[in-house]
Amino acid sequence: MGSSGFGATLLLVFCLWGLLISLSSAARLSASRQKLEVTKHLNRLNKPPIKSIQSPDGDIIDCVHVSKQPAFDHPYLKDHKIQTRPSFHPEGLFDENKLSENKVKSSAPINQLWHANGKCPEDTIPIRRTKEDDVLRASSVKRYGRKKHRSIPKPRSAEPDLINQSGHQPLSNSLLVSLWVVVEQHAIAYVEGDKFYGAKATINVWEPKIQQSNEFSLSQLWILGGSFGQDLNSIEAGWQVSPDLYGDNNTRLFTYWTSDAYQATGCYNLLCSGFIQVNSEIAMGASISPISGYRGSQYDISILIWKDPKEGHWWMQFGNDYVLGYWPSFLFSYLADSASMIEWGGEVVNTEPDGQHTSTQMGSGHFPEEGFGKASYFRNIQVVDSSNNLKAPKGLGTFTEQSNCYDVQTGSNGDWGHYFYYGGPGKNPNCQ
């Protein structure tokens, strides 16, 4: 090889070496930037605690002074005077509670696992500490704590001409078809066609199996306002299993809100400014215990969300004893007035691993026809009317995309009022 050829080779080697060094430096810089971004976000979310409690499941629960919670990072809440209790509860709530004492007998009350190791002092609220790994599992720091799969179960009668922001559109006015690979599937009951000011349900608690860590299974109620377009308002609460969000397969209490169809506003639990918590005993996102067993003891939780007729805020109550806090009405557009639709039921994410339907379970993982002790249920479902009265829902409809995978069956009787069984195993010989 001539000297010019040797020189060209040497130059090429130096160029490649320089390129590798610059790529390596860029990667290191990018990693350090991400680390800095994650650290900043953790500092924003994790407020200085007055006391910390180690939960048996590995969570750390921080007892943060009520005035230092994440809600008050919101510019509109800087001078907000905390409302420590709602001005009014819905009428009929306490009569219904007395009635329900004779219903499902739980051998122990529903608890949260962290209670085993202590409790938070008065004037503080319990907040599940966000860890670095929690944020790193998200697609980005900005998306952490937000639903990345944006869909709402949209029954056939709900404005079929609108396509929502996630690219879901109705097919034959009934099926939701996703243009994304990720599809949510639902089994729900719903009411619409009126103004609603709240909803209530008692839901039994399970620990559904999740096939892929980026899938989840939840059971919740939705308070909805607006169209199914980009301006959808939603307040949601229930229980969920979400390995992506929490790093495990525990069943956890959760809330969610959005005022723009899951685009830029809202989050799970207290992972952004919005929900103002006033209760020192229940932590959003913390594990629930015990859970129901197939052919075993059944454990359920009651959730009530209603609009305070005086202040206009949306309040949440867990069980008969715990008023958790409220979403200030200014967070919303349509829900600042009232809801136009209420939904109750289950949702799973189906990523179609290996090109087949997921085997992620909804509810107990069993179909509704198996009934009590085997299938999951919502019982005593009610809505709050314009006079702040709890009422039975009128014209209850049901919706599921693929009833061979997950199904729903309604009923009513004296003890359970309006109820439904729902859920299923996902992948099975009739659901591929």
Residues recognised as catalytic = 236, 347
- Residue 298 near residue 373, CB atoms below 8 Å: yes
- CA torsion angle for 189, 191, 192, 196 (degrees, to 10)? -130
SS3 call for 417: strand
94, 162, 278, 323 from 86: Cα distances, Å? 15, 36, 11, 9
Which of 309, 332, 311 has the alpha carbon at shortest distance from 257?
332
Which of 248, 256, 266, 164 has the alpha carbon at shortest distance from 210?
248
Both structure tokens of 388: 């702040």
- Residue 141 near residue 38, CB atoms below 8 Å: yes
Instruction: In whole angstroms, give the CA distance from residue 81 to residue 110.
Output: 32
- Residue 270 near residue 69, CB atoms below 8 Å: yes
Start-to-end Cα distance in the chain: 63
Largest separation between any pair of C-alpha atoms in the chain: 99
DSSP state of 173: T
SS3 call for 206: coil
Instruction: In whole angstroms, give the CA distance from residue 184 to residue 345.
Output: 13
Which of 187, 191, 185 has the alpha carbon at shortest distance from 224?
191
Half-sphere exposure of 203 (CA within 13 A, CB side): 29
- Residue 199 near residue 215, CB atoms below 8 Å: no
18, 24, 188 from 147: Cα distances, Å? 42, 33, 19
Strands of 263-321 (E only): list them. 276-277, 288-289, 300-307, 314-318
Polymer length of the chain:
432
42, 83, 247 from 130: Cα distances, Å? 7, 26, 11
218, 393, 412, 417, 432 from 188: Cα distances, Å? 12, 14, 16, 17, 21
Contacts of 282 (CB under 8 A, 6+ apart): 112, 126, 253, 318, 322, 324
